[in-house]
């Protein structure tokens, strides 16, 4: 009588214990096995000769970067011998897919394509994404991210015509000197390795891509590379079973489709010295029978010396089949392999039935991955599809989640009081400014230095002398290799410098190298802040810099122990969201393709139509900068391209960026009253027609003030020459105010401006009419209320703390002229091109310092101030203005009077007026901002947590150029932001 399976399991459990029962009941068989006896597999089997069935077990390498001879050789093996698969090596995705389509066309049975893509296609193919090495992934605490990576890796492999990934690596790397696994392992903890391996496997197999756990029974504890020799692992069976084989057992229980066998000598498992790839006791006895694995068993490459040394090609393939392998990778002699396996069948060493069963298993895999309905894949757009924004964002998320904060003394990170810090960055091992350093500069002023990894004493002493001027030094230790190996290769002098700097309490280290390297750096564990980033990539550099300033947080845990310095599992948690995160649009729920295409199109149109020579657009959502791009040239007649860091004249955006934040702060302190008038702060205005007009009315632009006064024209005589008490060609104590190199204004002329404002008539009716007159007075009002110099006050209380280092008046005194974008060619007043000085005539006559105009900034620094507004007064962990105050100042003040304005801030029109509106159709009624005469615009929308900055110099060469207005470029771009928000 035949026992059913359930009864057999129970009897077996009684004999061997409950552990066996639990494993047997929980084990999931690989999904592809259901096709082993399918109609399609049956039909293919009937068409294959016995030798062709053997050939289905063989796989050869294919390159997409080799010549026509290589392709002919591969085609020969496909056509003549009917091999079962190809493992693709170096090349590019487009060439590979073209070849795969051609190979499939030539094959009697669809070819199965495999690749080593442990960290994605970037491991083998150019122009594709490299996800983090598994050591970095081992630091991640969210397995869902690893699963998502598996899904994405599967999508990418399938798009390139592939069906098997020889991954994940589930070797437990418990030997820091391991030269071949090391950074390819999830770490030294078997549970962590297992959890990550299962997540990665399930992600891939959810998309019907076969995953292959490697390198069975465990390649982690060896200091020998099996590519060059046969490693020996001398541990007792109990240790191997409990540690090395644990992840394999668990992945098998979870239904992994494939297992790759390593080339190892493991006496406790096979005392004969036979490489594990050729060992029947290991493959059949342990993997198949003891662990119950029924899936696809694959050899590691058969050309590696760990198995090839002393073994004849073809013969060694036969031995691998006899040991129990199903698929042989990198078979070196296909004809000989087929002949030797056929001979073994003829001699009764193995039966044709067993070969057929393995052939069926491989065909079942082919059906499971969809090769029973094979169609050629299109080559067009493949690289674009492989590099989708969603995949790039996932890569960033993985790197971000891996960053491991090992030290953070006195909670130094995230850096807070930027106004108290003078920061230097040192990149060790980099010859030019790095992405790490560039990203640090986005947050505040950081002076950068480079130090060669072979630097000598003189080089280091020179650097140390320069660093004495700084109270914080941020060090990036960069890798010399594209692989994250356990090597430092630093001169003794550099190592000593690192050791000395580590003892300082004003040093931050970010290590873009293998974590094992930390054990080779003396005193590194004493540094105030230590970040382990695992790899030296642009993304890891960018995100490490963002971590330092609180743009992102840290959750990573060290996956390996580092000598006595750090243990596996070490890692401090740190919250992010303190300052801007620089990321992809999808990270903020926006479509990067829609956003980028729309802005590019509109900016290119504006430049082509000569509406502006160039410009910069910055977009942030949820305090994440998702778009920041420069366009065009500084001016039409030169070749200087606009850079994102270029500094622009903000024009009337100054109104909300200078005196206004000061007034709001003073309002918080009870020192500024919206019901007060100008005369309450400037007694000179007593008994004027401006008396008793409340600031609430003035700032909302319904105080009946005239829009503007042409102050410079008041300096002219009827014949066009300047009045004697106004300008001179040279500076002097009496004429100290520089308007141009040949125009120096009288020191008391400000009084004339004040007088003109005081005497100016009022409009007849109190309704909305935009006026800049009071903004000429506000710097003095702020100075009188605060009892501080106006510029010092706004620098100290706002710009310095924000790290907004380019937000300034008179930028030519602080920055190289090539960083400042020129504005108008002035042929009426100054008779020169305005470059580095304020465009507005009134503001330049005030010494360049006015709240009406005069402020300069780059987009990134201006965004910090605007984000503070959007956050209702808070940014970088500091509160600048009370929330209630910002809500008061940003709300429409007099809607009943058909006035849409807030206090100094502009607001959307009360009714949308189509192309004639001042904002995009979808801008909410809560939104606020301002525009500037030079072609600038800033806008914030609390409803969508959306920030938009547009900088241009549309007035070059002349203010008469109004094409930017006619094209409505700024507002159309603003609408594109809303259009790109994902549902």
Contact between residue 571 and residue 557 where contact means Cβ atoms under 8 Å apart: yes
Q: What is the mean pLDDT of the chain?
A: 94
The enclosing domain of 651 has a CATH number of: 3.40.710.10
Is 489 within a domain?
A: yes
Residue 477: which of 565, 541, 424 has the closest Cα? 541
pLDDT over threshold 50, residue 3: no
Average confidence (pLDDT) over 111-137: 97
Per-residue model confidence as pLDDT tens digits over 511-523: 999 999 999 999 9
- pLDDT at residue number 6: 42
Q: For 115-129, 302-316, 774-788, which range has the lowest pLDDT when averaged over its residues? A: 302-316
- pLDDT at residue number 433: 97
Residues 562 and 593 in one domain: no
pLDDT over threshold 50, residue 698: yes
pLDDT over threshold 50, residue 804: yes
pLDDT over threshold 80, residue 31: yes
The residues, ordered by sequence, that sit 6+ positions from 698 with a Cβ below 8 Å of its Cβ are 678, 705, 774
Cα distances (angstroms) measured from residue 588 to each of 609, 622, 947: 32, 6, 12
Contact between residue 804 and residue 857 where contact means Cβ atoms under 8 Å apart: yes
Confidence of residue 15 (pLDDT cuts 50, 70, 90): very low
Residues 293 and 172 in one domain: yes
Q: Is residue 129 reached through a cis peptide bond, with omega within 30 degrees of 0 on the bond before it?
A: no
How many structural domains compose the chain?
A: 4
Residues 831 and 972 in one domain: no
Confidence of residue 488 (pLDDT cuts 50, 70, 90): confident
Domain boundary residue among 289, 316, 331? 331
pLDDT over threshold 60, residue 345: yes
Sort strands 164-165 and 210-216 into parallel, antiparallel or unpaired: parallel
Domain boundary residue among 315, 331, 347? 331
Is 398 within a domain?
A: no
231 versus 170: which is more confidently predicted? 170
Residue 472: HSE in the Cβ half-sphere, 13 Å Cα cutoff: 23
pLDDT over threshold 80, residue 11: no
Per-residue model confidence as pLDDT tens digits over 278-305: 999 999 999 999 999 999 999 998 988 8
Q: What are phi and psi of 563, to 5 degrees?
A: 50, -130
Q: For 112-116, 224-228, 358-362, 673-677, which range has the lowest pLDDT when averaged over its residues? A: 224-228
pLDDT over threshold 90, residue 307: no
Confidence of residue 526 (pLDDT cuts 50, 70, 90): very high
Is 617 within a domain?
A: yes
Is 40 within a domain?
A: no
Per-residue model confidence as pLDDT tens digits over 194-235: 999 999 999 999 999 999 999 999 998 888 877 888 889 999
Residues 584 and 574 in one domain: no
- pLDDT at residue number 541: 98
- pLDDT at residue number 480: 84
- pLDDT at residue number 366: 98
DSSP string over 795-835: IIIIIHHHT-TT-EESGGGTS-GGGBPP--EESSSS-EE--
- pLDDT at residue number 223: 82
- pLDDT at residue number 9: 43
Residues 459 and 574 in one domain: yes
- pLDDT at residue number 221: 85
Q: Cα torsion at 604, 605, 609, 611 (round to 10°)?
A: -80
Residues 564 and 616 in one domain: no
Residues 478 and 613 in one domain: no
Residue 610: which of 271, 956, 206, 190 has the closest Cα? 956
Average confidence (pLDDT) over 488-495: 93
**Six-digit token pair at 393?**
């964002």
| Residue span of the structural domain in which 249 resides | 55-331
Contact between residue 231 and residue 264 where contact means Cβ atoms under 8 Å apart: yes
Average confidence (pLDDT) over 954-972: 96
Is 18 within a domain?
A: no
Q: Which residue is it, tokens 């199903």?
A: 326
Domain boundary residue among 537, 561, 579? 579
Is 151 within a domain?
A: yes
Residues 671 and 560 in one domain: no
- pLDDT at residue number 19: 47
The length of the chain, given as a count of residues: 983
Conformation bin of residue 330: beta by default, left when phi > 0, alpha when psi is -120 to 50: left
Average confidence (pLDDT) over 382-410: 97
Q: For 16-30, 342-356, 821-835, which range has the lowest pLDDT when averaged over its residues? A: 16-30
Is 338 within a domain?
A: no
- pLDDT at residue number 341: 97
* CA-angle at 814, arms to 810 and 819, nearest 5°: 90
Residues 95 and 206 in one domain: yes
Is 353 within a domain?
A: no
Residues 752 and 876 in one domain: yes
- pLDDT at residue number 831: 85
pLDDT over threshold 70, residue 13: no
pLDDT over threshold 90, residue 552: yes
pLDDT over threshold 60, residue 4: no
Residues 907 and 923 in one domain: yes
Q: Which residue is it, tokens 């873009």?
A: 512
- pLDDT at residue number 716: 82
**Number of neighbouring beta carbons within 10 Å of residue 822:** 22
Residues 673 and 612 in one domain: no
Contact between residue 188 and residue 568 where contact means Cβ atoms under 8 Å apart: yes
Per-residue model confidence as pLDDT tens digits over 429-460: 998 999 999 999 999 999 999 999 999 999 99
């Amino acid at each position: 009588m035949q026992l059913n399976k359930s009864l057999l399991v129970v009897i077996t459990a009684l004999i061997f214990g409950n552990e066996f029962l639990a494993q047997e009941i929980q084990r999931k068989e690989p999904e592809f096995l259901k096709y082993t006896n399918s109609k399609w597999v049956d039909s293919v089997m009937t068409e294959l000769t016995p030798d062709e069935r053997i050939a289905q077990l063989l796989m050869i390498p294919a390159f997409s970067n080799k010549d026509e001879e290589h392709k002919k050789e591969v085609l020969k093996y496909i056509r003549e011998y009917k091999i079962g698969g190809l493992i693709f090596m170096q090349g590019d995705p487009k060439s590979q897919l073209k070849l795969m389509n051609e190979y499939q066309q030539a094959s009697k049975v669809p070819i199965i394509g495999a690749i080593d893509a442990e960290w994605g296609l970037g491991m083998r193919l150019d122009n594709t994404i490299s996800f983090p090495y598994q050591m970095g992934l081992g630091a991640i605490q969210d397995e869902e991210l690893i699963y998502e990576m598996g899904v994405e890796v599967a999508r990418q492999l399938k798009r390139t015509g592939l069906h098997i990934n020889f991954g994940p690596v589930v070797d437990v790397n418990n030997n820091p000197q391991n030269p071949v696994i090391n950074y390819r392992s999830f770490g030294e903890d078997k549970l962590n390795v297992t959890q990550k391996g299962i997540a990665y496997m399930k992600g891939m197999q959810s998309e019907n891509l076969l995953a292959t756990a490697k390198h069975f029974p465990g390649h982690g504890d060896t200091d020998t590379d099996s590519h060059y020799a046969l490693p020996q692992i001398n541990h007792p069976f109990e240790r191997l079973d409990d540690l090395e084989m644990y992840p394999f057992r668990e992945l098998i229980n979870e239904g992994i489709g494939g297992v790759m066998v390593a080339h190892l000598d493991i006496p406790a498992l096979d005392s004969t010295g036979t490489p594990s790839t050729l060992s029947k006791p290991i493959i059949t006895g342990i993997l198949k029978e003891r662990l119950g694995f029924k899936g696809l068993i694959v050899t590691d490459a058969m050309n590696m010396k760990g198995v090839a040394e002393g073994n004849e090609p073809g013969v060694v393939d036969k031995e691998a089949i006899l040991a129990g392998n199903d698929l042989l990778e990198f078979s070196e002699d296909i004809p000989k392999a087929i002949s030797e396996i056929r001979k073994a069948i003829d001699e009764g060493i193995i039966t044709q039935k067993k070969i057929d069963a393995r052939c069926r298993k491989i065909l079942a895999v082919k059906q499971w991955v969809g090769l029973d309905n094979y169609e050629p894949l299109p080559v067009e757009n493949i690289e674009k599809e492989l590099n989708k924004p969603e995949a790039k964002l996932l890569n960033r998320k993985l790197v971000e989640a891996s960053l491991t904060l090992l030290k953070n003394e006195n909670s130094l990170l995230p850096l807070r009081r930027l106004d108290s810090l003078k920061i230097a960055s040192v990149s060790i091992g980099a010859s030019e400014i790095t992405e790490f350093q560039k990203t640090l500069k986005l947050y505040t002023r950081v002076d950068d230095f480079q130090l060669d990894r072979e630097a000598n004493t003189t080089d280091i002493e020179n650097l140390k002398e320069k660093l004495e001027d700084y109270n914080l030094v941020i060090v990036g230790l960069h890798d010399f290799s594209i692989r994250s190996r356990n090597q430092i290769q630093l001169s003794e002098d550099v190592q000593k410098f690192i050791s000395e700097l580590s003892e300082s309490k004003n040093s931050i280290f970010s290590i873009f190298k293998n974590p094992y390297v930390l054990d080779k750096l003396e005193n590194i564990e004493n540094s105030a802040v230590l970040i382990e980033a695992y790899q030296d990539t642009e993304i890891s550099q960018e995100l490490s810099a963002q971590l330092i300033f609180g743009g992102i947080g840290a959750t990573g845990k060290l996956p390996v122990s580092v000598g006595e310095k750090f243990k596996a599992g070490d890692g401090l948690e740190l919250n992010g969201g303190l300052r801007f995160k620089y990321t992809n649009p999808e990270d903020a729920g926006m479509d990067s393709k829609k956003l980028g295409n729309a802005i590019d199109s509109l900016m290119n149109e504006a430049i082509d139509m000569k509406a502006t020579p160039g410009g910069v657009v910055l977009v942030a959502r949820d305090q994440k900068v998702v778009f920041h791009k420069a366009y065009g040239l500084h001016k039409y007649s030169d070749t200087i391209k606009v850079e994102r860091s270029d500094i622009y004249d903000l024009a009337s955006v100054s109104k909300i960026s200078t005196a206004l934040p000061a007034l709001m702060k003073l309002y918080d302190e009870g020192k500024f009253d919206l019901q007060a008038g100008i005369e309450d702060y400037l007694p000179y205005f007593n008994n004027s027609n401006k008396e008793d007009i409340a600031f609430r009315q003035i700032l909302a632009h319904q105080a009946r003030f005239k829009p503007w006064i042409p102050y410079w024209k008041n300096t002219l005589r009827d014949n066009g020459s300047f009045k004697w008490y106004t300008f001179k060609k040279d500076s002097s104590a009496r004429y100290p105010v520089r308007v141009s190199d040949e125009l120096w204004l009288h020191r008391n002329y400000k009084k004339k401006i004040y007088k003109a404002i005081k005497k100016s008539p009022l409009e007849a009716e109190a309704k909305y009419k935009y006026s800049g007159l009071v903004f000429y007075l506000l710097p003095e009002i702020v100075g009188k209320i605060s009892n501080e110099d106006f510029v010092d006050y706004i620098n100290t209380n706002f710009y310095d703390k924000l790290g907004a280092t380019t937000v300034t008046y008179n930028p030519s005194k602080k920055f190289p002229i090539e960083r400042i974008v020129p504005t108008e060619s002035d042929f009426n007043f100054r008779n020169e091109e305005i470059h580095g000085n304020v465009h507005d005539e009134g503001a330049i006559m005030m010494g360049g310092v006015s709240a009406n105009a005069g402020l300069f900034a780059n987009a990134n620094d201006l965004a910090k101030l605007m984000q503070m507004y959007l956050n209702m007064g808070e940014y970088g962990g500091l509160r600048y203005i009370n929330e209630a105050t910002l809500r008061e100042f940003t709300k429409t003040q007099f809607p009943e009077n058909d006035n849409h304005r807030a206090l100094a801030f502009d607001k959307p029109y009360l009714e949308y007026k189509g192309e004639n509106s001042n904002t995009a159709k979808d801008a909410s009624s809560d939104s606020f901002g301002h525009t500037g005469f030079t072609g600038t615009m800033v806008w914030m929308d609390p409803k969508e947590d959306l920030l938009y900055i547009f900088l241009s110099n549309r007035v070059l060469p002349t203010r008469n150029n109004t094409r930017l207005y006619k094209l409505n470029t700024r507002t159309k771009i603003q609408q594109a932001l809303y259009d790109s928000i994902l549902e």
